[in-house]
A and B are shown apart, each in its own frame.
Chain A
Amino acid sequence: MRNSVVGLAMLAGVALAPVLVASPTVAQEMVKLGYIDPLSGGGASVGEIGLKHFQFLAEELNAAGGLAGKKVEIVPFDNKTNPQESVVQAQKAIDQGIRLLTQGNGSSNAAAISEFVTKYNDRNPGKEAIYFNYAAIDPILTNDKCSYWHFRWDASTDIKMAALSNFMKDRPNIKKVYLINQDYSFGQGMRKVSNEMIKAKRPDIQIVGDELHPLLKITDFAPYIAKIKASGADSVVTGNWGQDIALLLKAAADAGLQVDWYTYYAGGAGGPTAIKQTGLSHRVFDVTEGNANDAPEAAQKFETAFRARYGGVTVWYPRAVNQMRMVAKAAKDAGSVEPKAIAAKLEDMRFPLFDGGEGWMRKDDHQLFQPMYIRSFGPLDAGKKFDEEGTGWGWKVQGTVKAEDTIVPTTCKMERPK
Chain B
Amino acid sequence: MLELITFSTLNGVLYGMLLFMMASGLTLIFSMMGVLNFAHASFYMIGAYFGFEISRRIGFWPGFIVAPLLVGAIGALVERYGLRRVHKYGHVAELLFTFGLAFIIEELVQMFWGKLPVDYRVPPSLDFVAFRLFDTTYPAYRMFMLATAVAMFVFLFLVLKRTRVGLIIQAALTHPSMVAMLGHDVPRVFMAVFGVGAALAGLAGVIAGPALVTQPSMAALLGPILFVVIVVGGLGSLAGAFVASLLIGLVQTFAVAINASLADVIGPSADIFGDLGRVTVAQIAPVIPYLLLVLVLVFRPTGLLGNRES
Contact = CB atoms under 8 A, between A and B. Distances in A.
A335 to B, nearest CB: 39
B213 A226 contact: no
A223 interface: yes
Interface in A245-274: 247, 254-257, 269-270
A45 B117 CA distance: 7
A39 B217 CA distance: 11
Interface stretch (B32-40, B134-142, B293-301): B134-142
A120 B134 CA distance: 58
Given A45-B117, A217-B286, 5 more contacts: A220-B211, A222-B7, A223-B257, A227-B282, A230-B3
B4 A243 contact: no
B129 interface: yes
B235 to A, nearest CB: 26
Interface string A225-253: 01101100000000000010001000000
Contacts of A270: 117
Nearest to A209: B259
A40 interface: yes
A209 B258 CA distance: 11
A42 B117 CA distance: 9
B117 A230 contact: no
B115 A226 contact: no
A59 interface: no
Contacts, number: 84
Given A183-B283, A256-B132, A48 B7 contact: no
Contacts of B3: 226, 229-230
Contact of A220 (B4, B135, B212, B286): B212
A230 B282 contact: no
Contact of B11 (A39, A44, A48, A226): A226
Contacts of A209: 259
Interface string A359-388: 000000000000000000000000000000
B306 interface: no
A172 B282 CA distance: 31
A274 to B, nearest CB: 12
Nearest to B252: A223
Interface size range on A against B: 20 to 34
Interface string B274-289: 0000000011001000
A224 interface: yes
B256 interface: yes
A281 interface: no
A17 interface: no
Interface string A203-218: 0000001011110010
Interface string A31-47: 00000000111101100
A256 B136 contact: yes
B110 A40 contact: yes
B22 interface: no
A219 interface: yes
A214 B217 contact: no
A1 B235 CA distance: 62
Contacts of B110: 40
Interface of A: 39-42, 44-45, 48, 183, 209, 211-214, 217, 219-220, 222-224, 226-227, 229-230, 243, 247, 254-257, 269-270
Nearest to A49: B116
A226 B212 contact: no
A39 B115 CA distance: 7
Contacts of A223: 8, 11-12, 252-253, 256-257
Contact of B116 (A45, A183, A219, A227): A45
B290 to A, nearest CB: 13
A227 B4 contact: yes
A301 B309 CA distance: 70
Contacts of B8: 223, 226
B1 interface: yes
Contacts of B211: 220
B15 interface: yes
B16 interface: no
A243 B129 contact: no
A321 B304 CA distance: 58
B115 A40 contact: yes
A276 to B, nearest CB: 13
Given A223-B253, A254-B137, A243 B213 contact: yes
B217 A247 contact: no
B29 to A, nearest CB: 24
B245 to A, nearest CB: 15
A227 B257 contact: yes
B285 to A, nearest CB: 8
B1 A230 contact: yes
A256 B3 CA distance: 14
Contacts of B7: 222, 226, 229, 255
B221 interface: yes
Per CB-CB distance, the 6 closest pairs between chain A and chain B, nearest first, are A256-B137, A230-B4, A219-B212, A226-B7, A223-B256, A44-B115
Interface string B7-31: 1100110010000000000000000
Contacts of B218: 219
21 contacts: A40-B110, A40-B115, A40-B216, A40-B217, A44-B115, A45-B116, A45-B117, A48-B115, A219-B213, A222-B11, A223-B253, A224-B256, A227-B282, A230-B257, A243-B213, A247-B213, A254-B139, A256-B137, A257-B136, A269-B116, A270-B117
A226 B217 contact: no
Contacts of B283: 183, 212-213
A220 B11 contact: yes
A409 B215 CA distance: 42
A280 to B, nearest CB: 14
Contacts of A243: 117, 213, 215
Nearest to A44: B115
A219 B283 CA distance: 16
B139 A214 contact: no
B112 to A, nearest CB: 14
Interface string B40-63: 000000000000000000000000
A226 B10 CA distance: 11
Interface string B249-263: 000110011010000
